[in-house]
Amino acid sequence: MNVLHFYKTYYPDSFGGVEHVIFHLTELNHIKDVEFQILSLSRDPTKPYVSGNNVNVVKAKELVSIASTPFSYDVIYKFKKLAQKADIIHYHFPFPFMDMIHFLTDIDKPTVVTYHSDIIKQKNLLKVYTPLMNRFLKSVSAIVATSPNYFNTSKTLQKFASKVKVIPIGIDANAYTFDDASRVEYWKQKLPAKFLLFVGALRYYKGLDILLDALKQSAATVVIVGAGPSEQRLKEKARTLGLDNIMFLGGVSEKDKCIILSLCYGVVFPSHLRTEAFGVSLLEGALFSKPIISCEIGTGTTYINIDRETGLVAKPNDPQSLCEVMDELWQDEEQAREFGINAKKRFENLFTAKHMNEEYYRLYRSLL
């Protein structure tokens, strides 16, 4: 079986949540009788990238990007060529130009769409795009939602409920190992003795302004790992607020991220908008048996994190509520330990890459 994954971007051009899912579905997939291809757009398609698991990673030259949507002539030809070889075409939504290519090329193959998120920010674009989006989602063979929470709260998914299957995102624990005593010691010296950790891109929907406001009153210390368009503004805000209980580390290597996760007291994830459809960083915290703090936004974040079982859930966009749950977790170390144990159990039961890949394999087989 040959499966073609198609999304607007992939490693090494960007390292977001969707790319992370594609990586685990392909390069870390150990199901024997499936071959994978990945097609994405890139400003520099010649940039070297060595894929794992013999995955064929193909880049098309991006011409222009409008409203976070890249366009390309080259990708139409490359998609058609790769799709002819594929048994299954696996789309990753949202990417409006992908919908156009689907109809322009008129490939008659079974199609799966992983529905990563509603379109939240581009409201004007959505008005224009909605007819094409509905036609596209109606035409595909199957739609995958990444959590029952998101399926139940997405008006778009509810329109196509008969073809929606829920398959939670999973990660491979073997990708999070490290064996470097000197590097562990380096981070122990550099980091606070006790800290909550945020890992992720520094973007508008991550709730980091709310986190900074909460830290004005909180006893907790937070370390932020990640870079992004909001980074400089957030650092300036932290300085303006006079915060001495926050540390910005910027982007770090995967190995360093794993070490920092192992050393943290818990994971804080204050995303306050539905653009945050799942939250892979929460899975990473659970993998390391860490208690979790998230906000209730009707998405996968509170499918991963069950309030008062695996961690604590705050009200979204509410610095006072976030401060209260951070301080409760910070002060009650026995409770934090219990939450962390429960988070690891929930991870092992629901969120392994093995489970995700087996569920997708069953779905692919059912469409052939």
- pLDDT score for 48: 86
Domain limits, the chain: 2-170+352-367, 173-350
Q: Is the pLDDT of residue 294 over 90?
A: yes
* Distance between CA atoms of residues 237 and 211, nearest Å: 11
- pLDDT score for 120: 76
Same fold, 2-170+352-367 and 173-350: yes
Identify the residue with better confidence: 81 or 50: 81
Q: Is the pLDDT of residue 67 over 90?
A: no
Q: Considering Cα of 201, then 238, then 305, then 259, what sign does the dihedral take?
A: positive
- The alpha carbon of 22 is separated from its chain's Cα centroid by a whole number of angstroms, namely 10
* Distance between CA atoms of residues 332 and 11, nearest Å: 40
- CATH for the 2-170+352-367 domain, from 3.40.50.10800, 3.40.190.80, 3.30.460.80, 3.40.50.2000: 3.40.50.2000
Q: pLDDT category, 128, cuts 50, 70, 90?
A: confident
Cis status, amide bond into 270, omega within 30 of 0:
no
Q: Is the pLDDT of residue 114 over 90?
A: yes
Question: Which of 36-40, 65-69, 73-77 is predicted least confidently?
Answer: 65-69
Mean pLDDT across the stretch 159-173?
A: 97
* Distance between CA atoms of residues 28 and 9, nearest Å: 18
Question: Which of 37-51, 210-224, 280-294, 303-317 is predicted least confidently?
Answer: 37-51
- The alpha carbon of 68 is separated from its chain's Cα centroid by a whole number of angstroms, namely 17
- pLDDT score for 69: 87
In the chain, DSSP assigns E strands to: 2-6, 35-42, 56-61, 64-66, 69-71, 88-93, 111-115, 142-145, 164-166, 196-199, 222-225, 246-250, 266-269, 292-295, 311-314
Mean pLDDT across the stretch 172-181?
A: 93
Mean pLDDT across the stretch 205-225?
A: 97
- CATH for the 173-350 domain, from 3.60.15.10, 3.40.50.2000, 3.40.630.10, 3.40.50.150: 3.40.50.2000
